[in-house]
Amino acid sequence: MAITKPIKKPTADDFIAAAPDAAADVPQPRQPKYVRKGKKLQITLTIAQPLLERVDDLAQRLSLSRAAVINLAIHQGMERGITVDGSHRDG
């Protein structure tokens, strides 16, 4: 005869806690919206098609990847600041 672990009978609290909306009022830890790739983080970016075409054209002219051009643009914007609605914002 094999020794088996006793089976725990679920309680009403277990049933309630397992409901899909049970944790709705309990704050959940914020999940990161990225995937770690070595020392860098991979994110999802949504971009308008005309702007993406311009990024791709620039990347081809500079012999760089799309990601490199986007990274350079972000870096330069953070270092030099950007203009939003006519007012300059520092990065």
* Domain boundaries defined on the chain: 34-89
The four Cα atoms 68, 73, 77, 79 give a dihedral, to 10 degrees, of: 40
Residue 23: its pLDDT value, please?
63
Structure tokens at 86: 């006519």
This prediction's pTM: 0.60
In tens, the pLDDT along 39-52 reads 999 999 999 999 99
Distances (CA, A) of 47 to 3, 67, 87: 60, 13, 23
At the top level of CATH, the class of 34-89 is: mainly alpha
